[in-house]
Amino acid sequence: MSTTTGGGEFGNPLRKFKLVFLGEQSVGKTSLITRFMYDSFDNTYQATIGIDFLSKTMYLEDRTIRLQLWDTAGQERFRSLIPSYIRDSAAAVVVYDIASR
């Protein structure tokens, strides 16, 4: 599996998949996305305001796909926006803190 920022190489149509990351504030949604996108981890915390969007093109066997990663804010004041974020998504990734009760 390789990654790049281009798209549609090898003569294959580019398939897009929207993945929405959901969860409470400070559970690690942004950290998971950062690790996947850049293979790094940032120890500093900065809350996502509203939504953040990243895209990654990947080659899987004979297919080219583009993952659209939607990083949602965990604050309660943004919860009313969640239905509009998950619309047309291929998957929702629910992130939670197992130590939080």
Higher pLDDT, 52 or 100: 52
Whether this prediction's pTM lies above 0.85 is answered by no
Q: Report pLDDT for 79.
A: 85
* Architecture of the domain spanning 13-94: 3-Layer(aba) Sandwich (3.40)
Q: What is the pLDDT of residues 3-58, one digit of tens each?
A: 444 545 556 678 999 999 999 999 999 999 999 999 998 888 888 988 999 999 99
End-to-end CA distance of the chain: 38
Distance between CA atoms of residues 101 and 97, nearest Å: 9
Domain segments of the chain: what residues?
13-94
Asked whether the beta carbons of 69 and 37 are under 8 A apart, the reply is: yes
List, for residues 83-94, the tens digit of each pLDDT value: 998 999 999 999
**CA angle 96-91-101, nearest 5°?**
15
Residue 11's pLDDT is: 62
Residue whose C-alpha is closest to residue 52's, from 36, 66, 68: 68
